[in-house]
Amino acid sequence: MYPFKLPLSPLLLLLHMLLSTTTTPSVSTNQHASNMIKNISPQPNMNPHELETLFNIMESISNDQNWRTSYPNPCQQTSSWLGIECKKNNLDDIYHVTRLDFGTHPNPTCMKTATFPSLIFQLPNLESVFFIQCFTHTQTKITFQENSTTILPSSTLQQLSLRSNPALIDTIPPQISSLKSLQILTLSQNNLFGRIPEQIFTLNSLVHLDLSYNNLTGNIPNQLGNLKNLVGLDLSYNSFTGPIPDTIGYLTTLQKLDLSANSFTGKIPETIIELCSLNFLALSNNKLSGNFPKGLNKLQGLQYFLMDDNPMYIKLPKEFSQLQKLQELRLAGSGYSGEIPSSYSQLLNLTTLSLQNNQLTGEIPVEFTRFSHMYHLNLSRNMLSGVVPFNSSFLKGLGRNLDLSGNPGLCLDPHEGDNGIYLGVVNVCESKNSSSSTSSITMPLKNKSKASCGVFRFLFVLCILLWLCCIL
C-alpha cells in the first residue's frame, strides 16, 4: 500500500523517519528499523504481534485470501479497505485495530467456511466487532481462548454484534462476562440455544442487549435487574419460559422492551410501572394472563403497546386511555370480553388499534370517529353489534385497513354504508323511519359498486360512484 519502496540506505531511512513523524505517526525507531531489515516491505505502523493476529483472523474468515499481501499495512490511513478501523493509542503512539466489520455490503463478506475467530479477543484495543451473515455454512461457536494469559485484552470491547449467522450454534459462553466494557451485545438471528448464562448479568455497562430470534430456553433470572443501564432489551422469538422477573422494575432507563414470541407465563409484573422511560413494550405471543398491573397509566412515555395473543380473558382495561402518547395498541387474540371502552377515543395519536379475535360485545363507540390519525383499525372476529358509527370520510380514509368482519351483529347505516368500501360488514341496518324500501336487506358489499348504482339516494355518494363507473 505504500506508494514507493525505500532502498535500505541509512540516509533515506533517516529522511523517511523524519517525514513519517510529520505525516503518519509511526512506531518507535527500534521497531521501525528492525521491521525494515527483517522485511523488505514497508514497515507497518503497528505492533507486529497484533498485525500477525489480524492476518490470522483475516485468513480464517475473509473471502480475500491474499489479504496479507494486498494489505501489508492495514492500519495505514490511506488504506481503502473497508471493514477495519484503527486508532492511534496515546500511550504507545502506534496504531491499533479498533473495529472489525464483516458481512454486509459495503463491508467485506466472509468466506463460506468462515468460523468464529476467537483471536479477535486478543486484539488489545478492539472496540467494536460486527459479523453479519458471516457464519453461514460451517457450524461454529462463540469461543474464547481458554488459556489466554492476559484476561485484559478484550476488556476494551464495547460492541459485539453477531447477527444473522445461521451456522452460529451452541450456547452463549459464560466467558462473555469477561468483556467488561460491553455496552452493546447483539446476538440476534443465530441458532444459539440453551439458557442465558447468569454471568451475562454482571455486564453492568450494557446499554443494549438483543438476543432475539434464537432458540434460547429457560427462565430469565432475577439478576436481570442488575443491568441498570439498559435502554433496549430484546429477547423476542426464543423459547423462554417462566415468569417475567419482578426485578425488571429496576431497569428504569429502559426505553424498549421486547419479550414477544416466547412462553412467558404469569402476570405482567406490577413493577413494570416503574419503567417510566419506556416507549415500546411488546409482549405478544406469550402465555401471560391475569390482570394488568395497577398504575399502568404511569407509563406516560409509551407509544407502542403490543400484546396480541396471550390468554388474558379479562375486560379491556380503561387505563390505556390515559396513555396519551400511544400510537399503536394491539390486544388481539387474547380473549378480552365486555365492551370497548369509549374512553380509548382519547388516544388521539393512535394510528393502529388491533382488537380482533376477542369476545368483545356491545357497539363500536361513536367517539371512535374522532380518531384523526387512525390508519389501521381491526375489530374483526368479535361479537360487536349495532350500527357502524363511521361516516364516509372516515371509511374512505382507512379503506382496506379497516376490518369489521366476523361480527354478525354489526350493520351499516344505509346512508353511509354502501359506498363500495370493503369493511367486512354485510348487513345493512333496519331502515330508519324516513325510508322504507331497503329495510332489512342483507347485501354483500364486495364487488357491488357497479351493480347497485341505482340504489343510492345521496348525491354525494352518487357522484363518486358515477365517477368510478366512468373510469371503469
Q: Minimal distance in Å, beta carbon 12 to ligand NAG? A: 41
Using the rule CB under 6 A, is 401 a contact of ligand NAG? yes
Which range binds ligand NAG by CB under 6 A, 11-19, 221-229, 263-271, 400-408? 400-408
Using the rule CB under 6 A, is 263 a contact of ligand NAG? no
Binding mask 157-196 for ligand NAG (x = CB under 6 A): ------------x---------------------x-x---
37, with CB counted inside 10 A (0-12, 13-18, 19+), is exposed
User: How many residues bind ligand NAG, per CB under 6 A?
Assistant: 25
- Calculate helix-pair angle for 29-38, 10-22, nearest 10 degrees: 130
**In residues, how long is the chain?**
472
Side-chain-side CA neighbours of 301 within 13 Å: the count stands at 16
Which range binds ligand NAG by CB under 6 A, 84-92, 135-143, 156-164, 395-403? 395-403
**Strand duo 328-330 + 95-102: pairing:** unpaired
CA dihedral 133, 134, 139, 145 (to 10 degrees): -130
| 104 vs 145 by CB, closer to ligand NAG | 145
Using the rule CB under 6 A, is 438 a contact of ligand NAG? no
Binding mask 333-372 for ligand NAG (x = CB under 6 A): ----------------x------xx-----------x---
Using the rule CB under 6 A, is 394 a contact of ligand NAG? yes
Query: What part of residues 45-84 is at the interface with ligand NAG (CB under 6 A)?
Result: none
What would the grid cell of residue 138 be? 460451517
Sheet with 263-266, edge to edge strand ranges: 165-170, 190-194, 215-218, 239-243, 263-266, 287-288
Query: What part of residues 125-154 is at the interface with ligand NAG (CB under 6 A)?
Result: 145-147
**Binding residue for ligand NAG (CB under 6 A) from 50, 274, 403, 418?**
403
The string of DSSP codes covering 64-133 is: -TTHHHH-SSTT-TT---TTEEEEE-TTT-SEEEEEEEESSTTSPPBPTT----GGGGG-TT--EEEEES
**Binding residue for ligand NAG (CB under 6 A) from 56, 391, 435, 452?**
391
**Other beta carbons less than 10 A from residue 118's beta carbon:** 20
What would the grid cell of residue 338 be? 365486555
Q: Minimal distance in Å, beta carbon 58 to ligand NAG? A: 18
**Other beta carbons less than 10 A from residue 113's beta carbon:** 13
What would the grid cell of residue 193 be? 440455544
Binding mask 206-225 for ligand NAG (x = CB under 6 A): ---------x----------
135, with CB counted inside 10 A (0-12, 13-18, 19+), is buried
**Binding residue for ligand NAG (CB under 6 A) from 433, 437, 442, 447?**
433
| 41 vs 164 by CB, closer to ligand NAG | 164
Q: Minimal distance in Å, beta carbon 432 to ligand NAG? A: 4
Binding mask 369-388 for ligand NAG (x = CB under 6 A): x--------x-xx-------
Residue type, 468: L
Please say whether the dihedral angle defined by the alpha carbons of residues 345, 347, 349 and 352, taken in this order, is positive or negative.
Answer: negative
Residue with cell 439478576: 223
Q: Minimal distance in Å, beta carbon 43 to ligand NAG? A: 28
Q: Minimal distance in Å, beta carbon 176 to ligand NAG? A: 18
Q: Minimal distance in Å, beta carbon 390 to ligand NAG? A: 8
What would the grid cell of residue 438 be? 331497503
Q: Minimal distance in Å, beta carbon 297 to ligand NAG? A: 13
What would the grid cell of residue 172 be? 452463549
**What Cα–Cα distance (Å) separates residue 83 from each residue in 125, 153, 279, 383?**
16, 20, 33, 57
| 47 vs 356 by CB, closer to ligand NAG | 356
Picking from 245, 209, 215, 243, the residue whose alpha carbon sits closest to that of residue 229 is: 209
| 259 vs 355 by CB, closer to ligand NAG | 355
**Strand duo 232-234 + 208-210: pairing:** parallel
Which range binds ligand NAG by CB under 6 A, 78-86, 269-277, 293-301, 398-406? 398-406
Q: Minimal distance in Å, beta carbon 341 to ligand NAG? A: 18
Using the rule CB under 6 A, is 156 a contact of ligand NAG? no
Residue ranges in contact with ligand NAG by CB under 6 A: 145-147, 169, 191, 193, 215, 324-325, 349, 356-357, 369, 378, 380-381, 391-394, 400-401, 403, 432-433
